[in-house]
Structure 1
Amino acid sequence: IDVQLSDQPDSIHWKLARNGIFTVKSFYMDFINSGPISRSLHIWKVKVPLRIKIFMWFVHKQVILTKDNLIKRRWVGSSRCCFCDHDETIQHLFLECPLAKLLWRMIHIAFNINPPIDIESLFGT
């Protein structure tokens, strides 16, 4: 989201449509044209609540508001992970942080699922 500060009242402009108004068609066309669909199509078939599917899709697209992504949007704050004090990225938060590694180890022990090496392999792509 591109934010510009001014004294004018707030307004919302949908960047995917020329007139700035949200439509399902504009969202769908962006979704279709944003890269290979097959890489994230299986996310929508998982039997979990929709909000979890959307979160998984955001992780796959690497647009989760981790501290590195917030800083790109001019957020002022520490870029360090609150769990281990390394720079917080999606890769770090979900795979490299000692807490994430512990969780993946528990998943490996409980379900014999090997931890992914990167975000792409997390989704089987």
Structure 2
Amino acid sequence: IQVQLFDQPNSTQWKLTKNGIFTMKSFYMDLINFGPLSRSLHIWKVKVRLRIKIFMWFVHKQVILTKDNLIKRRWVGSSWCCFCDHDETIQHLFFECPLAKILWRTIHIAFNINPPVDIASLFRTWLAG
């Protein structure tokens, strides 16, 4: 950040807009075009609510607070999935758990979409479609 000193009262200006006033749109566009989100750009173009886009981005980055990720943060508790008797990971929760398999099978039958086998294939499917 460049700072210039003047003999005037302090003020701030947002450099991402012409009028110097902060807007979420300018911040969002800067993040998409130049920030850490650019590798996940396709997620931000999907026409769904923002909270769903954020959740999709968290899944893509594999930072959902599944029990394995909680344990890495010194959480004390069972690592077992609450739907079955396996350790809860993102891979397990979204693809390997019997409940997840039922949901993906339902989506396959209803929409003729082949179920993904992992996070990477899930996002390749969205890119292709």
Q: State the TM-score, normalized to the length of structure 2.
A: 0.68
* Aligned pairs, number: 97
- What is the deviation of 1:32? 2.9
Q: Which residue of 1 aligns with 2:91?
A: 91
**Deviation digits for residues 10-32 of structure 1, max 9, x if unmatched?**
xxxxxxxxxxxxxx69x949x73
- Which position in structure 1 is the counterpart of 2:46? 46
In structure 2, how many angstroms separate the alpha carbons of the residues matched to 1:112 and 1:92? 23
CA-to-aligned-CA distance 1:13-70 (integer Å, 9 cap, x gap) = xxxxxxxxxxx69x949x7357xx34x2111111111000000000000000000000
Which one scores higher on RCO, CA 8 angstroms, separation ≥ 6? 1
In structure 1, the gaps of 5 or more residues are 1-23
TM-score under structure 1 length normalisation: 0.71
Q: How does 1:60-99 map to 2 (within 5 A)?
A: 60-99=60-99
Residue 114 of structure 1: aligned partner: 114
Q: What CA deviation, in whole Å up to 9, does each residue of 1:58-110 have, x standing for no partner?
A: 00000000000000000000000000110000000000000000000000000
Deviating above 4 A after TM superposition, structure 1's stretches of 4 or more consecutive aligned residues are none
Q: Sequence identity of aligned pairs in percent? A: 80
